[in-house]
């Protein structure tokens, strides 16, 4: 089969393209910008990648299917050719995934506003180390796996992140609607993606549609401490298992201890002890990620006796790149990178960092980059999110000049909720100025911990700073 991907350098698109190539299909594709690391990975896989979009080139390829990424919009020359000529059938990426990767095998769909990549990585490792030969498709770079995309055995479980974002310009349903879950996990439901959803009930509605796709023989595993999920339950079909810290949960976390040395927790299943874990990961949120992943893996490996699953592989879990990723560490300075771009997630990380590094001055540096964080839709939540930090540096709003004043994030309003006489709080209109003041901020006293929150590159200042510090060693 000959496949052509429009938008092939996106993480999910590129990973699926490489899986299709490994299965023997002819694969090529295009993107607006072609750059490492994905361009190098695609080239190494023998996939031809074209920079820019061309109707003539697409016509010459004569593809059996054209895969349209959700970043491709009307006005794209290749999209317009598909619609005008009707020469080739086209699919969204989620449609291709269901058709070629999930058919005929158990599907473990990891969903929720936060924690999908980490939870999916943990589940994949537990299944892999228990010799089930699973497949997986993970949006980040798991430190404990050789690749974020593996096909696995044809009848083995397949782990996939269930993203609530839309599928394509012609299919505004959430991606996860296509994934036919055998086991579904839901970690958190909060308002996000304001360019797609109107409000929290709109987000919940999409998750309610997903829940309806779980078969009677399947299982729904939820964060039992989240009232936004509880509003969607119970369901008259299948089985629901609640995971969390509260006494109402089927799989209960506790005791939980976090200090400068490590994080330690135990799990019980319906009141019976299961196992204990000690690991270097931070926070209650990662503990819940691990408990949900373990519950799902246990049902797939030992469906009749799930607590027979050992949690030892979790202790060896190395985390996911750009999730509390320490980029530089010395006696007086730690520079950390985190993908966080939602206020609840950032507040949880900062709270955990205060426990893990009690002697450090904690500085949060945040780039409002996502379609939601760059607008004023969650300004009150942002005012609360940074309170655990000792200092706050707000970067320029990504493409802020394209956002109308009445809907753009008001950074002064956010700073107003943070400032007191003991805390520094600044907003910057350019990255060089921010970098200069950040360096001055950490030059005196210490030790300092600076955590950079962004789902982008943060203007390159973190990479440059890390390179310079390492060169001086």
Query: HEC states along 41-94?
Result: HHHHCCCEEEECCCHHHHHHHCCCEEEECCCCCCCCHHHHHHHHHCCCCEEEHH
Q: Which of 328, 413, 333, 320 is nearest to 368 (CA)?
A: 413
| Token pair for 259 | 């200090």
Q: Which of 48, 50, 81 is nearest to 66 (CA)?
A: 81
pLDDT of residue 252: 97
Range in 99-103, 271-275, 411-415 with the lowest mean pLDDT: 411-415
Summarize pLDDT for 112-157 with one digit per residue, the tens: 988 898 899 999 999 999 999 999 998 766 767 777 889 999 999 9
Domains, in order of start, for the chain: 2-92 (3.40.50.720), 104-315 (3.40.1190.10), 325-471 (3.90.190.20)
SS3 state at 36: coil
Summarize pLDDT for 312-370 with one digit per residue, the tens: 999 988 767 677 788 999 989 999 998 877 888 888 889 889 888 888 999 999 999 88
Of the pLDDT bands very low, low, confident and very high (cuts 50, 70, 90), residue 51 is: very high
pLDDT of residue 422: 67
Asked if 322 and 456 touch (Cβ cutoff 8 Å), the reply is no
Q: What percent of the chain has pLDDT over 70?
A: 97
Q: Would the pLDDT of 78 be above 60?
A: yes
Write the DSSP string, 5-21. Answer: EETTTSHHHHHHHHHHH
Q: Would the pLDDT of 299 be above 60?
A: yes
pLDDT of residue 249: 97
Q: Would the pLDDT of 420 be above 70?
A: no
d(CA 246, CA 257): 16
Q: Would the pLDDT of 446 be above 80?
A: no
Mean per-residue pLDDT of the chain: 91
d(CA 252, CA 254): 6
pLDDT of residue 33: 83
Q: Taking the mean position of all CA atoms in its chain, how far away is CA 9?
A: 17
pLDDT of residue 154: 92
Of the pLDDT bands very low, low, confident and very high (cuts 50, 70, 90), residue 419 is: low
Q: Which of 85, 139, 99, 96 is nearest to 5 (CA)?
A: 96
Question: What is the b/e burial string over 3-26, where b = at least 16 CB atoms within 10 angstroms of the residue's CB?
Answer: bbbbbbbbbbbbbbbbbbbeeeeb
Summarize pLDDT for 186-205 with one digit per residue, the tens: 999 988 777 788 899 999 99
Q: Would the pLDDT of 185 be above 70?
A: yes
Q: Would the pLDDT of 222 be above 60?
A: yes
Summarize pLDDT for 54-67 with one digit per residue, the tens: 999 999 999 999 99
- For residue 408, list its beta bridge partners: 375
pLDDT of residue 298: 97
Mean pLDDT computed over 5-33: 94
Q: Which of 193, 210, 23 is nearest to 107 (CA)?
A: 210
pLDDT of residue 156: 96
pLDDT of residue 30: 96
Task: Tell me which of 418 and 268 has the higher pLDDT.
Answer: 268
Of the pLDDT bands very low, low, confident and very high (cuts 50, 70, 90), residue 29 is: very high
Q: Would the pLDDT of 445 be above 80?
A: no
pLDDT of residue 49: 96
Q: Would the pLDDT of 444 be above 80?
A: no
pLDDT of residue 143: 67
Q: What percent of the chain has pLDDT over 90?
A: 66
pLDDT of residue 55: 96
């Amino acid at each position: 089969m000959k496949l052509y991907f429009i938008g092939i350098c996106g993480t999910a698109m590129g990973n699926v393209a490489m899986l299709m190539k490994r299965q023997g299909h002819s694969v090529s594709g295009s993107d607006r910008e072609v750059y490492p690391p994905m361009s190098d990975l695609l080239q190494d896989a023998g996939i031809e990648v074209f920079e820019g979009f061309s109707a003539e080139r697409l016509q010459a390829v004569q593809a059996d299917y054209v895969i349209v990424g959700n970043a491709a919009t009307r006005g794209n020359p290749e999209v317009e050719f598909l619609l005008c000529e009707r020469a080739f059938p086209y699919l969204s990426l989620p449609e291709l995934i269901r058709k070629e990767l999930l058919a005929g095998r158990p599907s473990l769909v990891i969903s929720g506003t936060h924690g999908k990549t980490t939870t999916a990585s943990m589940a994949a490792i537990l299944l892999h180390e228990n010799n089930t030969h699973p497949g997986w498709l993970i949006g980040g770079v798991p430190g404990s796996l050789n690749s974020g995309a593996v096909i696995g055995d044809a009848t083995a479980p397949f782990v996939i992140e269930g993203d609530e974002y839309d599928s394509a310009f012609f299919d505004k349903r959430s991606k996860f609607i296509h994934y036919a879950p055998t086991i579904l996990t839901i970690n958190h439901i909060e308002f996000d993606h304001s360019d797609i959803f109107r409000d929290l009930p709109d987000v919940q509605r999409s998750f309610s549609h997903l829940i309806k796709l779980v078969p009677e023989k399947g299982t729904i595993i939820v964060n039992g401490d989240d009232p936004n999920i509880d509003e969607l339950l119970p369901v008259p079909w299948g089985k629901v298992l609640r995971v969390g810290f509260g006494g109402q949960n089927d799989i209960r976390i506790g005791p939980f201890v976090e200090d400068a040395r490590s994080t330690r927790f135990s799990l019980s299943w319906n009141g019976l002890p299961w196992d204990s874990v000690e690991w270097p990961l931070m926070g209650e949120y990662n503990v819940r990620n691990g408990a949900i992943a373990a519950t799902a893996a246990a049902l797939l490996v030992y469906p009749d006796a799930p607590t027979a699953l050992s949690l030892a592989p979790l202790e060896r879990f190395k985390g996911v790149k750009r999730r509390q990723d320490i980029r530089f560490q010395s006696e007086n300075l730690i520079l950390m990178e985190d993908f966080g771009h939602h206020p609840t997630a950032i507040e949880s990380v900062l709270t955990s960092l205060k426990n893990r590094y009690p002697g450090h001055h904690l500085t949060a540096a945040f780039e409002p980059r996502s379609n939601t964080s760059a607008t004023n839709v969650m300004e009150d939540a942002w005012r609360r999110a940074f309170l655990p930090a000792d200092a706050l540096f707000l970067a320029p709003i990504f493409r802020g000049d394209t956002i109308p004043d009445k809907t753009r994030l008001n950074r002064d309003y956010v700073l107003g909720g943070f400032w007191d006489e003991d805390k520094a709080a600044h907003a910057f209109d350019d990255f060089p100025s921010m970098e200069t003041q950040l360096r001055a901020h950490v030059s005196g006293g210490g030790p300092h911990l600076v955590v950079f929150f962004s789902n982008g590159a943060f203007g390159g200042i973190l990479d440059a700073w890390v390179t310079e510090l390492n060169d001086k060693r």
